Structure formats: structure tokens, C-alpha cells
Amino acid sequence: MNFTATPIPGAWFVELDRKADERGYFARSWCRDEFAARGLPDVMVQASISHNTARGTLRGMHFQRAPSREAKLVRCQAGRVVDVIVDLRPESPAFCRHHAVELSAASGAALFIPPGVAHGFQTLEPDCDVYYMMSDVYQPELAGGVRHDDPAFGIRWPLPVAVIAPRDAAFPDFVPPRAH
């Protein structure tokens, strides 16, 4: 795997290192040792798949509140999506900044998202499957979110939103925590 740091500290774009021949290719998509060598979680305890029927579907922006230490490794296994992260860690030099990447089944690339960073995506094609690996078990009572179109973040989505969950559309405006 090839790891490229993103502008969001602790977030990584992870590309496959494909070994190709006449049959196709072989590539490692997860390696505990390679993640541990970068100080990233080396144990994933839960995995989920999000199937999205319509082009323009938007999911997010979601995160888990403390004390959860949930990190995610997200990969598109069918179709193409624009995947966006927003740094919600007040101590981070990238606080309130966002970063977007395209993930596709064709590339096999993934995005590693550290704890304290919100995540969402928009489908660029119909019938997209997004696969998540998480370092902590999902806890509904710790689930949080920020709105995909909150002016505090200035995210420009590539398509008009065709489908969004009412909960995701109704997240309140983001209010940064006050300094002590």
C-alpha cells in the first residue's frame, strides 16, 4: 500500500500497490503492520457496507464523540464517490478545514479518517457501495454530525443533492467550542 498524507493531520489517502499479470492484479488492502508503522490504529473491530442506489446521494457528515476513538478506513467497492472529511478537533491546525478525494472501485484507493474528523460522501454514479472498517464499535449515543452545506466549512459538492436522510439535512449550524 502507498500512503499519502492529506492536509488534515492524521488522515491518509491509501492507494493499492497492485501486482499485475495476465490474470489481473493482486493488492493488499489492509495490513496491521503498515498501519502501526505510521502510528495508526492497527486493529479494526467492525466493518459496514453502505449501498447507495441513486447518483447524487449524500451521506454525512458523521463522527463519533468522545470517549469513542473511532477511526475509519473507507473504500468505494462499486461505482465512484467524492469522499469529504472535516477536521473538528479544536487543537488541530486544520480545525474546520475540509478535504475531498475521489474514491472508486476502479482505483481501489481508500481514505483513512482519524478520530475527531467528520466524514461524508456523495455518489457520482448510481449503485455505489462504500465499505467501512472501524477501529471502535459504533455507539449510537455517541453519534454526531455536522451539516453537509454548513457555511462554516464551505464544502462544494460536485452534484446537486438527490437523496439525503432527513437527520443529515437537519444537523444544526456548527458552533466551534469556546477557548478556555
Q: How far apart are CA 111 and CA 74, in angstroms?
A: 5
> Is 132 a known active-site residue?
yes
User: Cβ(84)–Cβ(119) under 8 Å?
Assistant: yes
> Is 138 a known active-site residue?
no
Closest CA to 159 of 132, 129, 124: 124
Q: Which of 98, 99, 119, 132 is catalytic?
A: 132
HSE (CB half, 13 Å, CA atoms) of 41?
A: 18
Q: Is 41 helix (H, G, I), strand (E, B) or coil?
A: coil
Q: How far apart are CA 164 and CA 125, in angstroms?
A: 15
Bridge partners of residue 128, in order along the sequence: 52
Q: Which of 51, 62, 98, 99 is catalytic?
A: 62
Q: How far apart are CA 116 and CA 11, in angstroms?
A: 11
Q: Which residues are catalytic?
A: 62, 132
